[in-house]
Every structure is written in structure tokens, then in C-alpha cells.
Amino acid sequence: MRFFMVVCLALGATQAIGACDPGEVALRGDWGRAQFRVEIADDDAERAEGLMFRESMARSAGMLFLYDRPQPVAFWMKNTLISLDMIFVDPTGTVQHVHENAVPGDLTGIPGGDNIIAVLEINGGLSDIYGIEAGSQMQHPFFGDDAVWPCDDTASN
């Protein structure tokens, strides 16, 4: 039942999981699967602006921050009006850390780890609802050949 709820809540009942569209990320783990439509932030200006000044975000939406190389990453919530969950991911697409319910407007740095190449921001509380945790796997074309869940892995979609 929980798997069905995750799929329906994140996707709607008519959309397939694991499409590997650059505008989507899929996540999986022992908890089931979820998929989010994402905006990409892959340059300094886009990463600096992030989700600032937005008053709301669709439940099935998020922003995926992509970096050129693995590095230590920390985020803050300056000028961010909505609570967010931050999902910090290594070069293989493995979730290394999840920070839940970041407080809007808080300037405290939120460290994600040292070997981070991508960060997914989704609405606050969804990580807990879906069960997304360290060790979960992310599927997106960005991870390429290093992915633990590659885009061409149709057998497990």
C-alpha cells in the first residue's frame, strides 16, 4: 500500500516511473519509489538563486542542483519562503544525507557531505513521508556510467 501511495502522490497514477528524462529524477529504496519533475540549477547564478522568493511548489516538483565535480556542499535558506528537504547525492547517484524541513529564511549552513555532486530540493516533509534516506538511489541522466541506477536499467524501473 505504501508503494502505491508513494507513486500516486509523487506522480499521479498515469505517469511511468524511471523515464530518465533530464527534467525528472526518480528515487528508490527499501521504502519504494518516487519521481519528481525538476528544474535544473547547473551554473553558479542558478545555484545561488535556487528556490528563493517562491511562495509555493507543487508536491511533485523540485530543483536539482548539479556540480561539475564532487565537493563539500552546504546550503542555507536565505530568502527562501518555503520549508524544504535537501537530498545530498554522490557521483554514483547514492543519497549520502537528507536534511528534512529546512527552516525558511534561516542563514545557518546545512552541510551535506564532502563528496557531493548533486542536491535535490523538494517540499519539506516529503522525505519522511516517502521514506527517502541515506542509501536511497537517484536516477537521472547526469550520473551517466557511474550510476548505481543507470538510465538504461529498464529491468528495475
Sign of CA dihedral 39, 145, 90, 69: negative
pTM (two decimals): 0.87
CATH match for 2-13+22-156 among 2.60.40.10, 2.60.120.1140, 1.20.1560.10, 3.40.50.970: 2.60.120.1140
Does residue 19 surpass a pLDDT of 80? Answer: no
Question: According to the model, what pLDDT value does residue 152 have?
Answer: 84
Q: Would you list the domain boundaries of the chain?
A: 2-13+22-156
What pLDDT was estimated at residue 156? 54
Instruction: Provide the mean pLDDT of the chain.
Output: 89
Q: What is the DSSP string of 5-19?
A: HHHHHHH-TTSPS--
